[in-house]
Structure 1
Amino acid sequence: MRAKMGEEEKQRAKETEQSQNSSESSSGESSLRRIVESITSLISLSYSIKIFSAKWQTIRTKLEDLNSGLVAVQNCEASENPAVSGIVSNTWKTVNECHELARRCVDLSYSGKLLMQSDLDMLSARLDLHARNLSEVYNAGVLTRRFAIVVSRPGNGACRDDMRFYVRDLMTRMKIGDAEMKRQALLNLYEAVVEDDKYVKVVVEHGEIVHLLIRFLDFSHEVEIQELSAKIVSVISGFRSYKVVLVGAGIIAPLIRVLESGREVGKEEAAKSLQRLTENSDNGWSISAHGGVTALLKLCSGGDGGEIRSELVGPACGALKNLVGIEEIKRFMVEGGVISTFIRLTRSKDEVLQINSIEFLQNIASGDDAIRIMVAKEGGIRALVHVLEPRSVACSCKVRETALRAIENLCFWNANSISVLIKYGFVDQLMFFLRNGEVSIQELALKVAIRMCGKSEEAKKAMGDANFMTELVNFLDSKSFEVREMAAEALSNMVSVPKNRKRFVQDDRNMCLLLQRFNPEQVNSGNTKPLFSILMSLTSCNGGRRKIAHSGYLKNIQKLAENEVSDAKKLVKKLSTNRFRSMLSGIWR
């Protein structure tokens, strides 16, 4: 009986203790809730204070930070922690004093400005102390999260103040939270800046967040925190006006450290940021000074021993491409073997990587004959011609356009380079794109053909053998004025070669299509100078003079001469002189 009564007493004591604990817990939670409500009310009241506005702005910012920290505490099992109870008790006193000072400032009922300014400074310092104490409690790891702690993001169209409050709340969690809290806050911030550009501006305006992100980039032991920070920085770096803020805050060195020792996602985001930051050449020296050029070159060459991934190497290529404009950095790259590295990357199956590598070779050799020679010796011309291979289905139209522009810039500076191009079958490729290419690549091929035959006699002959003139004549009837002009210019260059003149004249269709361009309507609709230049060249051979003289279009040319068109007068004069000479030659025979 006594044993039974003893057990009942123990049970009642246990229930009493649990009840007391529950009451204390409830009391603690109630105090937290009241202080959060009081601070929220105080923040609203501070907006109506017109005097000492700068000091109240500072106090309001500190109140918002403290409020976010206390809201986070509400979401933790904190009621039994004496440290939290002490902070709440001390914060209550400060908040009450703050309410009193705010009321006096609103009513202008304070005794003197200097005394009030001193009181506000002391208040600000105490708010700092409470926030610091709260942070120490979090960092000690004694709090246990009990449910989701990140507040909801304001809906679309929310006012700027609501957005600032949300971002400030996230910042507080990043500062005082454990690793999981930091990760969740960063994830929410990343989603916000990706979905709404306005949040990017809010983040940049709150400079402390940028410094937090920079610090988190060095969290190599917390990979997710590092990667999320790199993602947010990458988004911010995409805005031109905010790049200077990132650079000024010291972002470059941490990004390079991530590039050197981070995991794949972090490296990708760091490379993207560096590519965007190097669009401003002023940042090039800073990147070089922190070893960034070496790190980028190592990634592009596969020097870290891993597989070359286009998602990572693509932006790294882009960053190096932006840096070649700095002469000293360019020389450093060349000495480091960058030419062979990027020639190898032109064979990649990834479009972005191919385009970046081709444009890099074009940029680094621009205006530098020594590097152009180096590109040719390392196999760069062959690699570019390989990219243009019509039978290859791996290369997109955009990649081929990039390769054509690079060939134009890299290979047309001397006759030897053009000879190498011809040797590798470039003329046949050019003909293919003239006949079968999409409009954009067709026009580009036409421009390249004009430059090529204008630079080399060998090229004129090779293009004549490949039947380029027939294709060019077809372009004389194009709807595009620019295309007609380019085709006429290319033909004018090509028929300057005797063998090409003879081949052209022998094709009646070529002559007919050319002479049709001299009917009155078409002559008056464009520039006839290149067309007259072609006819003048063709009169140098007997067949050409004869076909022009006996064509039905001669009268159009004579009419233009009568109208004082100088090129027409020269052509008629040459035809007449040649006819007179033929008559004399017949008499003497």
Structure 2
Amino acid sequence: MNPTATTSPPPQTPPAASSPQALLDLITNLLSLLLLSPLTVKSFTGRWQVIQSKLTSLHSSLSSLSSSSHWSDNPLVHSLLPSLLSTLQRLSSLSDHCTLGSFSGGKLRMQSDLDMASASLSHSLHDLDLLLRSGVLHQSNAIVLSHPGPCSSKEDLTFFIRDLFARLQIGGVEFKTKALESLIQLLAEDEKSASVVAKEGNVGYLIHLLDFNHSNNHNSIREHATTAVSVLTSANDESRKCVFEEGGLGPLLRIVETGSMSLKEKAAAAVEAITADPENAWAVSAYGGVSVLIEACRSGSLVTQAHAVGAISNVAIVEDIRNSLAEEGAVPVVIQVLVSGSSSAQDKAANCIAILASSGEYFCALIVQERGLQRLMHLIQEVSNSDTLEHVLRALSSLSGLDPSARFLSSSTAFIMQLGEIVNHGNIILQQVAASLLARLSISDGNKRAIASCMGSLVKLMESPKPVGLQESAAMALVSLLTVRSNRKELVRDEKSVTRLVQMLDPKNEVVNCKKFPVMVAAAMVGGGSSHGCRKRMVAAGAHHHLQRLTEMKVAGANKALQRLSGNRIINTIFGKSWRE
């Protein structure tokens, strides 16, 4: 036997209770011998040169480890050193065989054994370097790390997160599970921690734990990791961006497609949060996620369905994805959610329909073809949530651009009454959409009379400069309602409304900069065979004087309104001949 072979000790099994220092001493002694092995081996010299490079790096890492002030206190070291010692013992035995040139199992078996041992050495070296880089070996509280409270410093929080991710990447199932539980607890208790996790933690490794195909990803670990990623995506823009940039969207979509119900719900929530950023929405198509989300809407739990339809609503703003949604049958699925989904899902489905309907006649026709108009009309009678109501009204407003839809909406007395009620009692956004619909639809005189009570609210809305377009919508709705003579009489009897309207005509009134809208309403009030009383009240309130000024300023429609107002003897009746001269 070659005498050089005797320099490698036989494999030793350290006592279970060996101290970290005793294990490190055994590893250091064995490593010193192995560093000389490549000088004597006769077989597979190329592989041993690679191994020697790794052993040299290991020697440097172990020196850093031993110089760390609290390395022996860290529980991760306790699990890492025995594994490392076992790998070095295996390499020592292989070194003996390669030095003697004796391969009882053949050269192919020896090649395989060397490659496996080299890979195991790389894994241990990776874990050791990761532990050193984390900085946790220099902390005195590394045995039992206390959970940082709300008043903890940023330094304490940073150290806790680094230690947590070190345990997550190096430890076994127990370490990983406890680390994930701590991470979830931290994110739930402190919203600010998500930004620190995104900056100091290894979010890429966390996403790696979502992989179904990885043999080391235990089901409980995958579920905890999915929860953590879902919370991160919902926490803030920074952590959501980090998850997306680390490639989280693809694995999350796979979970939505093939995971358990619990995993699907969490993953769908994460996908919805990621796609809320328009810059991320395009990637759904790249990962083949359109069909996945549609199927989740069709057959997922109520929770999954709500998040999936929310994600579809988010990505519908991208033209290419919008076309894919149509091609893959998203429209009937989303419309069905309007009927059978939870209140949250109905809200998001209504928003999605509103986005699609605003995209043009093609989508409007698809929605009408799938009886979406009737579904929306039914929902508007039941919904109490103002956001959902806004989505429904916006969808109906877009659909009213189709003549058949406009006729259907115009003929529904219940719908017209609902619009009048919204103008009177809705928030300002709802009032604007309702007013625009009243202005656009061809409403019967009977229905116009039925909603006359909303005219005062429309006049008041004309005083609001925001949102943009509100004054025009309110004015156009009023002009439509004032085509009915009884409505003109009713509005002119409303002193507050008349006063408001005349004040808006005043050129000095800067609240209403665009005077053509109150001019339009004033002309409608005194036009169409209005009674002598209507003109008399408007003149008495000062409308004539303001319209004269507006005519001089060449405001559109002012001259016509002035002619209607003064086209009889009412001026003489009120002010006398001297005033006219």
TM over 0.5: yes
Displacement after TM superposition at 1:381 (Å): 1.2
Structure 2 residue corresponding to 1:380, chosen from 372, 394, 417: 372
Structure 2 residue identity aligned to 1:556? G
Displacement after TM superposition at 1:34 (Å): 12
Rounded Cα–Cα distance in structure 1 between residues aligned with 2:66 and 2:448: 78
Partner of 1:182: 176
Partner of 1:167: 161
> Aligned in 2, Cα 1:352/1:31: closer, same or farther, shift over 3 Å?
same
Q: Deviations over 1:265-316 (max 9, x none)?
A: 32222112222222344544543233322211111011xxxxx433222221
Structure 1 residue identity aligned to 2:315? L
Counterpart mapping for 1:137-156 below 5 A: 151-156=145-150
Partner of 1:402: 391
User: Helix, strand or coil for the counterpart of 2:377?
Assistant: helix
Displacement after TM superposition at 1:447 (Å): 2.1
Rounded Cα–Cα distance in structure 2 between residues aligned with 1:395 and 1:287: 32
Displacement after TM superposition at 1:360 (Å): 0.9
Displacement after TM superposition at 1:386 (Å): 1.2
Which sections of structure 1, spanning at least 5 residues, go unmatched? 1-23, 36-54, 90-126, 136-147, 303-307, 581-589
Rounded Cα–Cα distance in structure 2 between residues aligned with 1:529 and 1:549: 19
Partner of 1:98: none
Say if 1:418 and 1:459, in contact at 8 Å, map to a contact too.
no
User: Helix, strand or coil for the counterpart of 1:346?
Assistant: helix
Say if 1:259 and 1:266, in contact at 8 Å, map to a contact too.
yes
TM-score, scaled relative to structure 1: 0.66
Displacement after TM superposition at 1:535 (Å): 3.9
Q: Deviations over 1:481-503 (max 9, x none)?
A: 458875444222333x4xx1x22
Structure 2 residue identity aligned to 1:494? L
Structure 2 residue identity aligned to 1:363? I
Partner of 1:464: 448
Rounded Cα–Cα distance in structure 2 between residues aligned with 1:70 and 1:236: 31
Aligned length: 467
Which sections of structure 2, spanning at least 5 residues, go unmatched? 1-14, 27-56, 90-120, 130-141, 571-581
Partner of 2:542: 556
Say if 1:68 and 1:168, in contact at 8 Å, map to a contact too.
no
Displacement after TM superposition at 1:561 (Å): 5.6
Displacement after TM superposition at 1:413 (Å): 1.8
Structure 1 residue corresponding to 2:436, chosen from 438, 451, 463: 451
Rounded Cα–Cα distance in structure 2 between residues aligned with 1:202 and 1:552: 66
Q: Does 1:237 align with 2:218?
A: no
Rounded Cα–Cα distance in structure 2 between residues aligned with 1:332 and 1:396: 30
Say if 1:150 and 1:170, in contact at 8 Å, map to a contact too.
no
Partner of 2:198: 204
Structure 2 residue identity aligned to 1:279? A
Say if 1:258 and 1:270, in contact at 8 Å, map to a contact too.
yes
Q: Does 1:491 align with 2:478?
A: yes
Rounded Cα–Cα distance in structure 2 between residues aligned with 1:359 and 1:331: 17
Rounded Cα–Cα distance in structure 2 between residues aligned with 1:154 and 1:61: 31
TM-score, scaled relative to structure 2: 0.67
Say if 2:275 and 2:311, in contact at 8 Å, map to a contact too.
yes
Displacement after TM superposition at 1:183 (Å): 0.8
> Aligned in 2, Cα 1:237/1:531: closer, same or farther, shift over 3 Å?
closer
Displacement after TM superposition at 1:342 (Å): 0.7
Rounded Cα–Cα distance in structure 2 between residues aligned with 1:481 and 1:541: 28
Rounded Cα–Cα distance in structure 2 between residues aligned with 1:491 and 1:82: 84
Q: Does 1:353 align with 2:377?
A: no
User: Helix, strand or coil for the counterpart of 1:152?
Assistant: coil
Q: Does 1:222 align with 2:211?
A: no
Partner of 1:261: 258
Kindly report the root-mean-square deviation, in angstroms, between the aligned alpha carbons of the 2 structures. Answer: 4.5
Partner of 2:409: 421
Rounded Cα–Cα distance in structure 2 between residues aligned with 1:516 and 1:382: 41
Rounded Cα–Cα distance in structure 1 between residues aligned with 2:156 and 2:537: 82
Displacement after TM superposition at 1:230 (Å): 1.1
Percent of aligned pairs sharing the same letter: 22
> Aligned in 2, Cα 1:186/1:346: closer, same or farther, shift over 3 Å?
same
Rounded Cα–Cα distance in structure 1 between residues aligned with 2:449 and 2:563: 32
Rounded Cα–Cα distance in structure 2 between residues aligned with 1:396 and 1:388: 10
Q: Deviations over 1:375-417 (max 9, x none)?
A: 012111111111111xx3x642332232222222x22323322
Q: Does 1:247 align with 2:244?
A: yes
Partner of 1:319: 311
Rounded Cα–Cα distance in structure 2 between residues aligned with 1:462 and 1:571: 26
Q: Does 1:503 align with 2:486?
A: yes
> Aligned in 2, Cα 1:521/1:295: closer, same or farther, shift over 3 Å?
closer
Say if 2:20 and 2:77, in contact at 8 Å, map to a contact too.
yes
Structure 2 residue identity aligned to 1:275? E
Partner of 1:476: 459
Q: Deviations over 1:183-232 (max 9, x none)?
A: 11111122223333554344333464522442344368622211111122
Say if 1:561 and 1:572, in contact at 8 Å, map to a contact too.
yes
Rounded Cα–Cα distance in structure 2 between residues aligned with 1:361 and 1:552: 44
User: Helix, strand or coil for the counterpart of 1:400?
Assistant: helix
